[in-house]
Amino acid sequence: MLYGRQEAPMLTVDTDISTARAVAARAAPSLAIIEMPGRQGVGFVVSSHGQLVTNLHVVAGAEEIHVLLADEQLLQVEQVLALDEKRDLAVLQLPVSGLESLRLDGHVHPGEGDTLFILLPAGGGMLGLMETRVQAVQVLDESLTFLELEAGLPEDASGSPVMDASGALVGVATCAFADGRPITIVIPSRYVVPLLEQQATLPLSTLALARPVASRQRQVPTHPLSLLEGCATDSVEEIALAIMQAIQLGAPAYNQGDPESCYRLYERTAERLIQERPDCPGAQAALREGLQRCTRLEGADACAWALRDTFDGLLHLIDRWLQAQAAFARLSAPRSYLQ
């Protein structure tokens, strides 16, 4: 028999093995292999009515789709229930009912450091259960928050289900790119719930027109701590606050289709900080480099991202610098060994 009948290799961190096995046992019957001409993908069943979830980029452009279920049923997909291009989600309608499915809970909100499990095919009809942790909760804008995980996900495993230790579905595992490197993110299950509530179905040909959000190749600079040498802590914190405020205003404008306003806001912020912060020449230099980069680019969209890269590079540096300052303060604090 296929996946649900095979012993699953456990790639665990420190969770009790009985918990990992219980999570795998609950999720295994729902896992599905999505077969398309020239490629394969992964998805999972989320209702007994045959609703199957995966990443949109996994099935985008497919003209023919077959789904191989854990009980060895091979089904041809002819209908699409819903698509979400911004969040890279697709729900396919399988032509059967009475299927075993994952428990969907849109109210599961893991935090940084929480343990999660990814169920994915391991080849040869086997399953793999990958245990990992939430590295960060990333808020892209008011319409998208996702989890960044510590573990690396094989690119062909995008669309796999992610569960917590109770077996509840946390979201959809997705191989993405950031700062020019692959990262594993989770699109939370709360974005899946409204897609399942749609009543009308779409023809399979809808996928030919689908265009998931492309992974932008970021160019976030990595600065040495010495760049902030001589800066006062208050000054560094004020720079970080100004940058974060600009992002909080600029990112929503960009996502609403106004990259020009986003770019101009970022540009004004960079120019103001250069003028007002002569006490942090390293930060000034980084901001000048970002503005100079914009002169070599065409269009507000590219310039907005160039300055966002500049801002993120400085925020990463400031975070490391403040941590180093705090650690130094702890080491330098006088200690009394006599009571």
pLDDT in the model for residue 254: 74
- Give the side-chain half-sphere CA count within 13 A for 28: 24
Q: Is residue 184 domain-shared with residue 280, that is, in the same domain?
A: no
d(CA 149, CA 102): 21
Q: Is residue 86 domain-shared with residue 19, that is, in the same domain?
A: yes
Phi, psi of 172 (to 5 degrees): -110, 125
Q: Is residue 32 domain-shared with residue 171, that is, in the same domain?
A: yes
CATH of the domain at 316: 1.20.120
Q: Is residue 62 domain-shared with residue 199, that is, in the same domain?
A: yes
Q: Is residue 218 part of a domain?
A: no
pLDDT in the model for residue 13: 45
Q: Is residue 203 domain-shared with residue 232, that is, in the same domain?
A: no
Q: Is residue 22 domain-shared with residue 102, that is, in the same domain?
A: yes
Q: Is residue 127 domain-shared with residue 18, that is, in the same domain?
A: yes
Structural domain including 265 reads 225-331
CATH of the domain at 98: 2.40.10.120
Q: Is residue 220 part of a domain?
A: no
For residue 66, the Cα-to-chain-centroid distance in whole angstroms is 27
Q: Report pTM.
A: 0.61
Q: Is residue 22 domain-shared with residue 72, that is, in the same domain?
A: yes
Segments of the chain with pLDDT less than 70: 1-16, 123-126, 178-181, 211-218, 255-256, 328-339
Picking from 152, 180, 208, the residue at the C-terminal end of a domain is 208
Q: Is residue 76 domain-shared with residue 116, that is, in the same domain?
A: yes
Beta-carbon contacts of 281 under 8 Å, excluding residues fewer than 6 positions away, are: 230
Q: Is residue 267 part of a domain?
A: yes
Q: Is residue 214 part of a domain?
A: no
Per-residue model confidence as pLDDT tens digits over 83-136? 998 899 999 999 998 888 887 777 778 888 999 999 988 766 667 888 899 988
Q: Is residue 266 part of a domain?
A: yes
Picking from 208, 235, 261, the residue at the C-terminal end of a domain is 208
pLDDT in the model for residue 195: 93
Q: Is residue 194 domain-shared with residue 294, that is, in the same domain?
A: no
Q: Is residue 336 part of a domain?
A: no
Q: Which pair of tokens denotes residue 64? A: 């023919």
pLDDT in the model for residue 16: 65
Per-residue model confidence as pLDDT tens digits over 26-35? 888 999 999 9
pLDDT in the model for residue 71: 86
Picking from 145, 177, 208, the residue at the C-terminal end of a domain is 208
pLDDT in the model for residue 222: 87
User: What DSSP letter does each residue of 52-82 carry, written as one string?
Assistant: EEEEHHHHTT-S-EEEE-TTS-EEEE-EEEE
Q: Is residue 311 part of a domain?
A: yes
Q: Is residue 339 part of a domain?
A: no
Q: Is residue 145 domain-shared with residue 256, that is, in the same domain?
A: no
